[in-house]
């Protein structure tokens, strides 16, 4: 303990020396010449602090704060002790408080190093704030480390084949003594911090059940009374409430209550416990140097969870203690009954859907989602309730205040006990079948590696999500999960490339594009013969309602880069999703990789006209006047229509105008009636253009189900483009990835073959 105190004091001293070098820092505390007496002496001589002086004496801390070191003492008044006794009728005097409890109370009121009122309100993780420093000009550091360091913790474990799992003592075959790496921290609330953190006074009052008083500092649930009381080795503040040490999240989950328990949630968290030997901490134990038998000490972490529930250190970098002064977390703990209801009504087949048979069959990844859905990187305050809270799964969730049965400000998090569990968005969105139904483990692993969940969990949208079961992917080797200790996260995703006849690794970007291609941003209505649903990758999913088939614009193939055609029938999965529909398909979609130039030049007669009109650049294999990245709809006259058109009599400039009239720029028009009817500008330069402004002639289109009706200026029918199998809705794409070894094809247009040449009325004249 002595070594730990020395290490902690040294660290804080170094930090304070560093902070003192910062510009515009609060004035460093220096002992005034007129002071006589150290902290304990000042406390005994200050009116109204008699009870705390007795507590210091009984705990033995009177000699400590009067002997060496520098401290800040937040001393509860006699009235504060009397209020404490009223709330704890088992005690009538300080001497009645058991020694261990009294020791904790005393130490929790002592903070290492002296802090003036200004200094308490002028710190952040980078030291004293500086108004001229844009990254360190706000007092966001609101917690301070007390001198209370709890004992190392004993965890009973069951060790099988080197794997450790936390259990109760009756089922354990070993134990782990976990090193307590840090002292307890205490939060201080003051006006500037509340403003910065967007915390309302009632947020503070909600957790501490006391009125927030502007203009002063609140030490946890107490209020600082008056000014500093300086001593030779520190500062004393009088506070109006006795502050019991704040429990951390794990300690709150372990507490027993007559009507409810969080034991099931705690057991779920314990699934992810990892013990790591700490030889340095082991060697610092008393007696180790003399060869005495001491416990091996371990560090306990929870990889994959939002934060370590037992750790007093918080923030994104817990190896740096200074982060803790700013960062705090949140726990929304479901009771055993609430967690059981989540399993029964959502996760297992008791829900009425073909989900997991029982709890024992639920994969670890599902349990991990459940835990993180009930945690948060940020504290949860009263003003957050009823609104959106971002949890550890990056879901935006709502907690109904009516469901809260316990509220506590823990030492490392805010803590809300609830009798209604949070349903993770992974379960309630279109990904529900992937996570809740057996047979999609490969897809789950690939989805998580691709990191597409944030996009597909959105609310207020209507996705079409096409998923493929494990059985199909195992059979054709289109996706495989390969585990190994040398792989990131313990696994990689690979596919058997049937063209190259070898397995290839699938990286995050590649997988993301793959899945985005299978996520439509709309749901088909079933009315048109074919529906073209835009997907998240910039392509289109084609639902052939007449044939009950689905494609990506090209025929699907067996396996990854296969050459044999397969036909995919979309099967709607009955699932209570709230943002779309999930479909099962026995394979994957294929999407166009043919560019506009290649597609249009595959129609020889039309290509010849384009060449004669000056559209084709045969050196660079591009089309003049076509803008990269732009969308187009192209009407391509059939060979017969071109032969009967008389276009061979036109001059080059006249022919160019005719060709331009067959290109709609900026829109992709399909025959499914999803586009709006109206005027669509072509590439043809209109006669109304001037030297100051170029106008483009528009084609008037009436978009109907299975029909694009091209209209005359008076609204009468000019030419009907009806859905006609392979002669309409022919998509072309553009590779947006400049890297020669990668591809990212995105649909940039559509071609419709028509049996006429489009001629504008001004040209006909």
Over residues 343-386, the pLDDT tens digits come to 999 999 999 999 999 999 999 999 999 999 999 999 999 999 98
Q: Which stretch of 26-35, 213-222, 365-374 has the lowest confidence by average pLDDT?
A: 26-35
Alpha carbons 309 and 300: distance in angstroms, whole number: 10
**Token pair 């109204």: residue:** 48
DSSP, collapsed to helix, strand or coil, labels residue 102 as: helix
Structure tokens at 140: 């966001």
Report pLDDT for 701.
97
Alpha carbons 559 and 229: distance in angstroms, whole number: 77
Report pLDDT for 529.
97
Tell me which CATH homologous superfamily contains domain 2-148+183-246.
FAS1 domain (2.30.180.10)
pLDDT digits 0-9 by tens, 31-53:
555 455 899 999 999 999 999 99
Q: In the structure, what pLDDT confidence band is assigned to residue 458 with cuts at 50, 70 and 90?
A: confident
How is domain 429-584 classified at the architecture level of CATH?
A: Roll (2.30)
Whole-prediction pTM: 0.88
pLDDT digits 0-9 by tens, 87-134:
999 999 999 999 999 999 999 999 999 999 999 999 999 999 988 888
DSSP, collapsed to helix, strand or coil, labels residue 138 as: coil
Alpha carbons 82 and 727: distance in angstroms, whole number: 89
54: how many CB neighbours lie within 10 A of its CB? Answer: 17
pLDDT digits 0-9 by tens, 163-182:
999 999 999 999 999 999 99
Query: Is the Cα dihedral 629, 635, 638, 640 positive or negative?
Result: negative
How many residues are there in the chain? 765
Alpha carbons 716 and 709: distance in angstroms, whole number: 9
**Token pair 């490392």: residue:** 412
Query: Is the Cα dihedral 152, 153, 159, 165 positive or negative?
Result: negative
Report pLDDT for 762.
66
596-764 and 2-148+183-246 share a CATH fold: yes
Q: The CATH number of 596-764 is which of 1.10.1060.10, 2.30.180.10, 3.40.50.300, 2.40.160.210?
A: 2.30.180.10
pLDDT digits 0-9 by tens, 426-443:
999 999 999 999 999 999
What phi and psi, each to the nearest 5 degrees, are found at residue 392? Answer: -70, -10
Are 215 and 201 contacting, i.e. CB atoms less than 8 angstroms apart? Answer: no
Instruction: Quote the DSSP letter at residue 97.
Output: S
Mean residue pLDDT across the chain: 92
- Strand-pair partners of 493: 481
Q: In the chain, where are the structural domains located?
A: 2-148+183-246, 429-584, 596-764
Query: Exposure pattern of 212-249 as b/e (b: 16+ CB <10 Å)?
Result: beeeebbbbbbbbbeebbbbebbbbbbbbbbbebbbbb
What is the mean predicted confidence (pLDDT) over 701-717? Answer: 95
- pLDDT over 70 at 505, yes or no: yes
Give burial (CB, 10 Å; 0-12/13-18/19+) of 564. Answer: exposed
Report pLDDT for 33.
52
Q: In the structure, what pLDDT confidence band is assigned to residue 320 with cuts at 50, 70 and 90?
A: confident
- Strand-pair partners of 473: none
Q: What is the DSSP string of 215-227?
A: TS-EETTEEEEEE
Structure tokens at 230: 């300086």
Which of 760, 448, 745, 387 minimizes the C-alpha distance to 598? 745
């Amino acid at each position: 303990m002595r070594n730990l105190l020395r290490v902690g004091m040294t660290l804080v001293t170094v930090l304070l020396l560093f902070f003192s070098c910062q510009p515009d820092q609060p004035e460093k505390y220096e002992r005034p010449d007129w002071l006589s007496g150290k902290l304990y002496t000042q406390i005994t001589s200050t009116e109204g602090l008699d009870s705390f002086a007795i507590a210091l004496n009984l705990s033995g801390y009177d000699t400590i704060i009067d002997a060496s070191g520098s401290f800040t003492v937040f001393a509860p008044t006699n009235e504060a002790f009397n209020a404490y006794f009223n709330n704890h009728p088992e005690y009538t005097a300080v001497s009645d408080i058991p020694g261990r409890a009294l020791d904790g109370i005393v130490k929790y009121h002592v903070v290492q190093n002296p802090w003036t009122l200004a200094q308490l309100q002028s710190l952040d993780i980078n030291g004293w704030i500086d108004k001229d420093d844009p990254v360190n000009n706000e007092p966001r550091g609101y917690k301070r480390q007390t001198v209370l360091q709890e004992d190392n913790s004993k965890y009973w474990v069951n060790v099988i084949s080197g794997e450790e799992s936390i259990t109760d003592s009756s089922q354990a075959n070993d134990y782990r003594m976990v090193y307590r790496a840090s002292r307890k921290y205490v939060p201080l609330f003051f006006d500037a911090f509340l403003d910065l953190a967007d915390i309302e006074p009632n947020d503070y009052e909600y957790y501490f059940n006391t009125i927030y008083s502007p203009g002063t500092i609140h030490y946890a649930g107490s209020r600082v009374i008056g000014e500093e009381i300086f001593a030779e080795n520190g500062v004393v503040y009088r506070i109006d409430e006795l502050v019991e040490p704040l429990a951390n999240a794990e300690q709150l989950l372990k507490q027993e209550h007559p009507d409810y328990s969080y034991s099931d949630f705690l057991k779920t968290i314990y699934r992810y416990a990892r013990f790591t030997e700490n030889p340095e901490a082991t060697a610092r134990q008393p007696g180790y140097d003399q060869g005495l038998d001491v416990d091996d000490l371990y560090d306990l972490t929870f990889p994959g969870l939002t934060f370590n529930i037992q750790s007093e250190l918080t923030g994104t970098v817990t190896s740096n203690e200074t982060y803790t002064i700013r960062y705090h977390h949140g726990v929304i703990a479901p009771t055993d009954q609430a967690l059981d209801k989540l399993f029964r009504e959502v996760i297992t087949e008791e829900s009425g859907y073909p989900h997991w048979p029982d709890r024992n069959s639920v994969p670890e990844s599902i349990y991990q989602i459940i835990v993180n859905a009930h945690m948060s990187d940020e504290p949860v305050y009263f003003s957050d309730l009823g609104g959106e809270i971002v949890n550890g799964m990056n879901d935006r969730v709502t907690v109904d205040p009516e469901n809260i049965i316990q509220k506590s400000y823990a030492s490392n998090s805010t803590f809300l006990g609830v009798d209604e569990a949070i349903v993770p968005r992974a379960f309630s969105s279109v990904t529900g079948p992937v996570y809740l139904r057996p047979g999609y483990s490969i897809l789950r692993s690939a989805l998580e590696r691709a990191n597409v969940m944030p996009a597909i969990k959105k609310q207020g949208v209507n996705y079409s999500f096409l998923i493929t079961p494990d059985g199909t992917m195992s059979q054709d080797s289109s996706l495989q999960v390969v585990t190994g200790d040398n792989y990131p996260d313990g696994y990689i995703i690979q596919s058997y490339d049937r063209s190259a006849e070898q397995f290839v690794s699938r990286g995050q970007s590649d997988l993301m594009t793959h899945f985005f291609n299978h996520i439509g941003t709309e749901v088909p209505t079933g009315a048109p013969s074919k529906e073209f649903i835009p997907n998240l990758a910039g392509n289109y999913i084609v639902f052939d309602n007449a044939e009950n088939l689905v494609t990506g614009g090209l025929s699907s193939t067996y396996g990854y880069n296969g050459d044999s055609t397969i036909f995919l029938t979309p099967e709607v999965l009955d699932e209570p999703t709230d943002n779309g529909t999930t479909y099962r398909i026995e394979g994957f979609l294929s999407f166009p990789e043919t560019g506009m130039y290649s597609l249009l030049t595959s129609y020889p007669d039309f290509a010849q006209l384009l060449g004669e009109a000056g559209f084709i650049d045969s050196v660079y294999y591009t089309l003049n006047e076509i803008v990269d990245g732009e969308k187009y709809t192209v009407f391509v006259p059939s060979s017969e229509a071109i032969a009967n058109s008389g276009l061979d009599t036109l001059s080059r400039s006249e022919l160019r105008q005719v060709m331009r009239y067959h290109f709609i720029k900026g829109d992709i028009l399909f025959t499914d009636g999803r586009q709006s009817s109206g005027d669509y500008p072509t590439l043809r330069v209109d006669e109304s253009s001037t030297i100051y402004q170029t106008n483009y002639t528009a084609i008037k289109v009436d978009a109907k189900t299975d029909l694009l009706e091209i209209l005359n200026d008076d609204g009468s029918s000019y030419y009907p483009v009806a859905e006609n199998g392979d002669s309409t809705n022919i998509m072309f794409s553009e590779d947006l990835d400049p890297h020669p070894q990668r591809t990212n094809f995105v649909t940039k247009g559509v071609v419709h073959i028509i049996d006429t040449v489009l001629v504008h009325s001004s040209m006909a004249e």
